[in-house]
Amino acid sequence: MSREPSAVSRLVWPLALFSLALAPRLPGLRLFLTTDEPFFADQAANVVTALLRGDFGATYWHFYPGLTMSWLDGLGVAAQWGLESVRGVAAEPFTQFIRRDILELLVALRLPYTLLSALFVVALYLLVRRLSDQRVALLAALLVAFDPFFLAHSRVAHGDGPVTVFLGVAVLAFALHLQRGAAGPIADPRSARNNAVSGWLVLSAICGGLAALTKSPGPVILPFVILLGLGDWAVAGARLALGRLGA
Protein backbone atom coordinates (compact mmCIF):
# COMPACT_ATOMS: atom_id res chain seq x y z
CA MET A 1 0.00 0.00 0.00
CA SER A 2 1.36 3.44 -0.99
CA ARG A 3 2.13 6.05 1.65
CA GLU A 4 -0.17 9.03 2.05
CA PRO A 5 1.49 12.16 0.61
CA SER A 6 2.72 14.67 3.17
CA ALA A 7 1.12 18.09 3.63
CA VAL A 8 4.01 19.71 1.72
CA SER A 9 3.67 17.20 -1.08
CA ARG A 10 -0.07 17.82 -1.30
CA LEU A 11 0.67 21.50 -1.94
CA VAL A 12 3.84 21.25 -4.03
CA TRP A 13 2.63 18.74 -6.61
CA PRO A 14 -0.50 20.67 -7.66
CA LEU A 15 1.53 23.88 -7.99
CA ALA A 16 4.24 22.09 -9.95
CA LEU A 17 1.73 20.44 -12.26
CA PHE A 18 -0.06 23.75 -12.84
CA SER A 19 3.26 25.40 -13.76
CA LEU A 20 4.29 22.49 -15.99
CA ALA A 21 0.94 22.56 -17.78
CA LEU A 22 1.18 26.31 -18.38
CA ALA A 23 4.78 26.23 -19.61
CA PRO A 24 4.07 24.93 -23.14
CA ARG A 25 0.70 26.72 -23.42
CA LEU A 26 1.54 30.36 -22.74
CA PRO A 27 4.36 31.13 -25.23
CA GLY A 28 3.40 32.38 -28.67
CA LEU A 29 -0.33 32.82 -28.13
CA ARG A 30 -0.40 35.77 -30.53
CA LEU A 31 1.69 34.15 -33.27
CA PHE A 32 -1.04 32.22 -35.13
CA LEU A 33 -4.78 32.26 -35.80
CA THR A 34 -7.04 29.28 -36.49
CA THR A 35 -9.86 29.46 -39.04
CA ASP A 36 -12.62 28.90 -36.47
CA GLU A 37 -11.61 31.49 -33.90
CA PRO A 38 -12.91 34.66 -35.63
CA PHE A 39 -16.37 33.08 -35.91
CA PHE A 40 -16.33 31.84 -32.30
CA ALA A 41 -15.12 35.21 -31.01
CA ASP A 42 -17.91 36.98 -32.91
CA GLN A 43 -20.54 34.57 -31.59
CA ALA A 44 -19.25 34.94 -28.03
CA ALA A 45 -19.36 38.74 -28.38
CA ASN A 46 -23.00 38.46 -29.49
CA VAL A 47 -23.85 36.39 -26.41
CA VAL A 48 -22.03 38.68 -23.96
CA THR A 49 -23.46 41.91 -25.37
CA ALA A 50 -26.98 40.44 -25.48
CA LEU A 51 -26.61 39.35 -21.84
CA LEU A 52 -25.40 42.79 -20.77
CA ARG A 53 -28.37 44.52 -22.38
CA GLY A 54 -30.82 41.99 -20.89
CA ASP A 55 -31.85 40.44 -24.21
CA PHE A 56 -31.71 36.83 -23.04
CA GLY A 57 -33.35 35.45 -26.18
CA ALA A 58 -30.41 36.72 -28.23
CA THR A 59 -27.93 34.74 -26.13
CA TYR A 60 -28.90 31.51 -27.95
CA TRP A 61 -26.02 30.13 -30.01
CA HIS A 62 -27.54 27.72 -32.50
CA PHE A 63 -26.62 24.04 -31.92
CA TYR A 64 -23.23 24.65 -30.33
CA PRO A 65 -24.33 26.13 -27.71
CA GLY A 66 -21.01 27.78 -26.70
CA LEU A 67 -22.13 29.20 -23.36
CA THR A 68 -18.94 28.43 -21.45
CA MET A 69 -16.92 29.68 -24.43
CA SER A 70 -18.79 32.97 -24.17
CA TRP A 71 -17.95 33.14 -20.46
CA LEU A 72 -14.27 32.43 -21.08
CA ASP A 73 -14.02 34.89 -23.97
CA GLY A 74 -15.90 37.54 -22.01
CA LEU A 75 -13.70 37.16 -18.94
CA GLY A 76 -10.51 37.34 -20.98
CA VAL A 77 -11.57 40.41 -22.95
CA ALA A 78 -12.94 42.07 -19.79
CA ALA A 79 -9.53 41.63 -18.15
CA GLN A 80 -7.79 43.27 -21.12
CA TRP A 81 -10.39 46.06 -21.23
CA GLY A 82 -9.94 46.68 -17.51
CA LEU A 83 -6.16 46.83 -17.79
CA GLU A 84 -6.28 49.15 -20.78
CA SER A 85 -8.87 51.37 -19.07
CA VAL A 86 -6.63 51.72 -16.02
CA ARG A 87 -3.77 52.71 -18.32
CA GLY A 88 -6.05 55.14 -20.19
CA VAL A 89 -5.80 53.21 -23.47
CA ALA A 90 -9.33 51.80 -23.84
CA ALA A 91 -11.78 54.66 -24.34
CA GLU A 92 -14.78 52.81 -25.77
CA PRO A 93 -17.43 50.92 -23.77
CA PHE A 94 -16.87 47.20 -23.14
CA THR A 95 -19.64 46.23 -25.60
CA GLN A 96 -17.64 47.95 -28.35
CA PHE A 97 -14.26 46.81 -27.06
CA ILE A 98 -15.27 43.14 -27.25
CA ARG A 99 -15.91 43.59 -30.99
CA ARG A 100 -12.44 44.85 -31.80
CA ASP A 101 -10.41 43.04 -34.45
CA ILE A 102 -9.60 39.57 -33.17
CA LEU A 103 -5.85 40.12 -33.61
CA GLU A 104 -6.04 42.85 -30.96
CA LEU A 105 -7.83 40.52 -28.54
CA LEU A 106 -6.23 37.19 -29.40
CA VAL A 107 -4.17 36.69 -26.24
CA ALA A 108 -7.02 37.87 -24.02
CA LEU A 109 -9.40 35.43 -25.72
CA ARG A 110 -7.03 32.48 -25.42
CA LEU A 111 -5.62 33.03 -21.94
CA PRO A 112 -8.71 31.76 -20.04
CA TYR A 113 -8.60 28.53 -22.05
CA THR A 114 -4.94 27.93 -21.18
CA LEU A 115 -5.62 28.59 -17.49
CA LEU A 116 -8.65 26.29 -17.52
CA SER A 117 -6.66 23.46 -19.11
CA ALA A 118 -3.81 23.89 -16.61
CA LEU A 119 -6.30 23.78 -13.74
CA PHE A 120 -7.77 20.63 -15.29
CA VAL A 121 -4.38 18.93 -15.08
CA VAL A 122 -4.31 19.71 -11.35
CA ALA A 123 -7.93 18.58 -10.90
CA LEU A 124 -7.20 15.34 -12.74
CA TYR A 125 -4.23 14.68 -10.47
CA LEU A 126 -6.28 15.29 -7.32
CA LEU A 127 -9.21 13.16 -8.49
CA VAL A 128 -7.10 10.25 -9.73
CA ARG A 129 -5.09 10.32 -6.50
CA ARG A 130 -8.33 9.67 -4.63
CA LEU A 131 -9.24 6.87 -7.03
CA SER A 132 -5.80 5.25 -7.07
CA ASP A 133 -2.51 6.49 -5.63
CA GLN A 134 0.11 9.23 -5.95
CA ARG A 135 2.20 7.63 -8.70
CA VAL A 136 -0.74 6.81 -10.94
CA ALA A 137 -2.16 10.30 -10.43
CA LEU A 138 1.14 11.97 -11.34
CA LEU A 139 1.56 9.83 -14.44
CA ALA A 140 -2.00 10.51 -15.58
CA ALA A 141 -1.63 14.27 -15.02
CA LEU A 142 1.68 14.46 -16.90
CA LEU A 143 0.37 12.42 -19.82
CA VAL A 144 -2.65 14.71 -20.16
CA ALA A 145 -0.61 17.90 -19.64
CA PHE A 146 1.73 17.06 -22.51
CA ASP A 147 -0.62 15.19 -24.81
CA PRO A 148 -0.05 16.93 -28.18
CA PHE A 149 -3.70 16.91 -29.25
CA PHE A 150 -5.04 18.30 -25.97
CA LEU A 151 -2.14 20.74 -25.75
CA ALA A 152 -2.95 22.17 -29.18
CA HIS A 153 -6.67 22.52 -28.51
CA SER A 154 -6.18 24.04 -25.06
CA ARG A 155 -4.24 27.00 -26.51
CA VAL A 156 -7.02 28.33 -28.74
CA ALA A 157 -10.44 29.89 -28.19
CA HIS A 158 -12.34 26.80 -29.25
CA GLY A 159 -14.90 24.49 -27.69
CA ASP A 160 -12.83 21.30 -27.82
CA GLY A 161 -10.64 22.25 -24.86
CA PRO A 162 -13.41 23.18 -22.40
CA VAL A 163 -15.65 20.26 -23.35
CA THR A 164 -12.73 17.91 -22.69
CA VAL A 165 -12.13 19.51 -19.29
CA PHE A 166 -15.75 19.32 -18.17
CA LEU A 167 -16.29 15.79 -19.47
CA GLY A 168 -13.08 14.61 -17.82
CA VAL A 169 -13.97 16.03 -14.42
CA ALA A 170 -17.55 14.75 -14.71
CA VAL A 171 -16.41 11.17 -15.38
CA LEU A 172 -13.79 11.14 -12.62
CA ALA A 173 -16.16 12.69 -10.08
CA PHE A 174 -18.81 10.10 -10.95
CA ALA A 175 -16.23 7.34 -10.51
CA LEU A 176 -15.46 8.74 -7.05
CA HIS A 177 -19.16 8.75 -6.25
CA LEU A 178 -19.33 5.07 -7.20
CA GLN A 179 -16.20 4.33 -5.17
CA ARG A 180 -17.77 6.06 -2.15
CA GLY A 181 -20.85 3.89 -2.48
CA ALA A 182 -18.73 0.76 -2.77
CA ALA A 183 -16.89 1.42 0.50
CA GLY A 184 -16.75 -1.63 2.69
CA PRO A 185 -15.94 -5.29 2.11
CA ILE A 186 -18.90 -5.94 -0.17
CA ALA A 187 -21.10 -3.21 -1.61
CA ASP A 188 -24.83 -3.67 -1.45
CA PRO A 189 -26.35 -1.85 -4.46
CA ARG A 190 -29.58 -1.37 -2.46
CA SER A 191 -27.89 0.24 0.53
CA ALA A 192 -28.66 3.82 1.52
CA ARG A 193 -24.97 4.70 1.44
CA ASN A 194 -24.60 3.44 -2.11
CA ASN A 195 -27.64 5.38 -3.31
CA ALA A 196 -26.97 8.60 -1.40
CA VAL A 197 -26.34 11.79 -3.32
CA SER A 198 -22.70 12.66 -2.63
CA GLY A 199 -20.75 15.81 -3.31
CA TRP A 200 -18.94 13.91 -6.07
CA LEU A 201 -22.24 13.17 -7.79
CA VAL A 202 -23.18 16.85 -7.59
CA LEU A 203 -19.80 17.85 -9.03
CA SER A 204 -20.21 15.31 -11.83
CA ALA A 205 -23.68 16.65 -12.66
CA ILE A 206 -22.47 20.26 -12.70
CA CYS A 207 -19.51 19.48 -14.96
CA GLY A 208 -21.69 17.32 -17.20
CA GLY A 209 -24.08 20.23 -17.54
CA LEU A 210 -21.22 22.59 -18.37
CA ALA A 211 -19.99 20.14 -21.02
CA ALA A 212 -23.48 20.09 -22.56
CA LEU A 213 -23.49 23.91 -22.53
CA THR A 214 -20.13 24.04 -24.28
CA LYS A 215 -20.45 21.95 -27.43
CA SER A 216 -23.03 19.61 -28.94
CA PRO A 217 -21.08 16.36 -28.15
CA GLY A 218 -21.22 17.28 -24.43
CA PRO A 219 -24.52 15.48 -23.71
CA VAL A 220 -22.79 12.15 -24.43
CA ILE A 221 -21.91 12.25 -20.72
CA LEU A 222 -25.50 11.29 -19.82
CA PRO A 223 -25.66 7.84 -21.48
CA PHE A 224 -22.05 7.25 -20.49
CA VAL A 225 -22.62 7.71 -16.75
CA ILE A 226 -25.86 5.73 -16.94
CA LEU A 227 -24.02 2.78 -18.48
CA LEU A 228 -21.15 3.20 -16.01
CA GLY A 229 -23.58 3.27 -13.10
CA LEU A 230 -25.45 0.20 -14.36
CA GLY A 231 -22.16 -1.65 -14.81
CA ASP A 232 -21.08 -0.74 -11.28
CA TRP A 233 -24.48 -1.84 -9.91
CA ALA A 234 -24.20 -5.18 -11.74
CA VAL A 235 -20.68 -5.81 -10.46
CA ALA A 236 -21.67 -4.85 -6.91
CA GLY A 237 -24.67 -7.18 -7.09
CA ALA A 238 -22.52 -10.03 -8.34
CA ARG A 239 -20.00 -9.46 -5.54
CA LEU A 240 -22.81 -9.43 -2.99
CA ALA A 241 -24.24 -12.69 -4.34
CA LEU A 242 -20.80 -14.35 -4.32
CA GLY A 243 -20.18 -13.12 -0.79
CA ARG A 244 -23.42 -14.65 0.42
CA LEU A 245 -22.64 -17.95 -1.30
CA GLY A 246 -19.24 -18.04 0.38
CA ALA A 247 -20.61 -17.13 3.81
Report pLDDT digits (tens) over 24-58. Answer: 999 999 999 999 999 999 999 999 999 999 999 88
> What is the rounded CA–CA span in Å between residue 44 and residue 69?
7
Shortest CA distance to 153 belongs to which of 122, 190, 195, 117?
117
Taking the whole predicted model, whether its pTM rises above 0.95 is answered as no
Mean pLDDT over 138-158 rounds to 96
Are 215 and 64 a contacting pair, CB within 8 Å?
Answer: yes
Q: Is the pLDDT of residue 105 over 60?
A: yes
State residue 196's pLDDT score: 55
- Enumerate the domain spans of the chain: 1-113
> What is the rounded CA–CA span in Å between residue 101 and residue 116?
24
Local structure of residue 2 (DSSP, 8 states): P
State residue 184's pLDDT score: 41
Specify whether the backbone of 133 is left (phi greater than 0), alpha (psi in -120 to 50) or beta.
beta
